[in-house]
């Protein structure tokens, strides 16, 4: 069964304290792993797509990496405005043979000034 | 990035009434749209996948007669919650996939409260 597990569930950091969020997955035939940021009461905001092991992508203080079993979202010198829930999702085959995203439960990040 | 607009952003309705939520892709054609439901502090649960011009495919446990999905054009999908009850109160989010790519872009979400 396709599954996505994120850890930790919640993370508190001091401003400037770098850390990493983990997303481990099991899916038959990975066709893409996605990272999203979600602020309270809002829809997810797209951050990155990774397709193959070894791939890395960066955006400002965020860097996403991918292995065959997991992905990491590294946050370097975070700021309070980075506080949000970070969601990981993998692309899996749906019942009608199209594709759908399966989401992890998310990591709630709080960055204190 | 592509823009997906969802309306309304919040709605309060009385138990037993129906509520329609719209999802529009503003600058691209969306052959496939997805509807999700999210409970507080939980992740997104896929409810159904809709392809333009065909019937939606519902996930297991989702009542298709209660959650009516219409995807009549390449830029618009609607979700109608029929005969709403308090347990239907939730955050509903749509997303749309651009033809030829796998970027999935999300609407702002709709907070439904049934009283």
Question: A111 pLDDT band (50/70/90 cuts)?
Answer: very high
Structure tokens at A1: 């069964």
Measured in angstroms, the CA of B16 and the nearest CA of chain A are apart by 25
Using a CB-CB distance cutoff of 8 angstroms, which residues of chain A are in contact with residue B46?
100-102
HEC-encoded secondary structure of chain A = CCEEEEECCEEEEECCCCEEEEEEEECCCCCCEEEEEECCCCCCEEEEEECCCCCEEEECCEEEEECCCEEEEEECCCCHHHCEEEEEEEEEECCCCCEEEEECCCEEEEEEC
Name which of B102, B109, B110, B113 to mutate to probe chain A: the one with the most chain A Cβ atoms within 10 A of its Cβ.
Answer: B102
Percent of chain A with pLDDT over 90: 80
Cβ B20 vs Cβ B11: under 8 Å: no
Name which of A10, A41, A43, A107 to mutate to probe chain B: the one with the most chain B Cβ atoms within 10 A of its Cβ.
Answer: A43
Task: Report the C-alpha gap between A101 and A3 in whole angstroms.
Answer: 11
Query: Which pLDDT score, from 0 to 100, does residue B97 have?
Result: 83
Kindly report the average pLDDT of chain B as a whole number.
91
Structure tokens at A91: 């692309």
Using a CB-CB distance cutoff of 8 angstroms, which residues of chain B are in contact with residue A32?
102
Average pLDDT of the segment spanning B8-26: 96
Among chain A, residues having any CB pair with chain B shorter than 8 Å are 31-32, 34, 36, 41-46, 49, 87, 91, 94-96, 98-106, 108
φ, ψ for residue B87, nearest 5 deg: -70, -10
Query: Which pLDDT score, from 0 to 100, does residue A90 have?
Result: 92
Average pLDDT of the segment spanning A64-87: 97
DSSP H or E segment with residue B44? strand B44-51
Average pLDDT of the segment spanning B49-78: 90
Name which of A44, A97, A98 to mutate to probe chain B: the one with the most chain B Cβ atoms within 10 A of its Cβ.
Answer: A44
């Amino acid at each position: 069964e396709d599954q996505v597990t994120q850890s930790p569930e919640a993370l508190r950091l001091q401003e400037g304290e770098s850390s990493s969020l983990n997303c481990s997955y099991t899916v038959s035939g990975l066709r893409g792993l996605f990272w999203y940021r979600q602020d309270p009461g809002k829809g997810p905001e797209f951050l990155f797509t990774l397709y193959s092991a070894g791939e890395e992508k960066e955006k400002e203080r965020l860097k996403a990496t991918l292995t065959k079993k997991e992905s990491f979202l590294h946050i370097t010198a975070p700021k309070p405005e980075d506080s949000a829930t970070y969601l990981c999702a993998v692309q899996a085959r749906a019942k009608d043979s199209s594709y759908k995203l399966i989401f992890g439960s998310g990591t709630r990040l709080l960055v204190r000034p | 990035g592509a823009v997906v607009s969802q309306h309304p952003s919040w709605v309060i309705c009385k138990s037993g009434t129906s509520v329609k939520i719209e999802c529009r892709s503003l600058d691209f054609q969306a052959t496939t749209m997805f509807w999700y439901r999210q409970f507080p502090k939980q992740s997104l649960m896929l409810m159904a996948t809709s392809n333009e011009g065909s019937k939606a495919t519902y996930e297991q446990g989702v009542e298709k007669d209660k959650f009516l999905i219409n995807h009549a054009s390449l830029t618009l999908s609607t979700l109608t919650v029929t005969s709403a009850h308090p347990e239907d109160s939730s955050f509903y989010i749509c997303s749309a996939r651009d033809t030829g790519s796998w970027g999935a872009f999300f609407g702002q979400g709709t907070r439904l409260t049934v009283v």
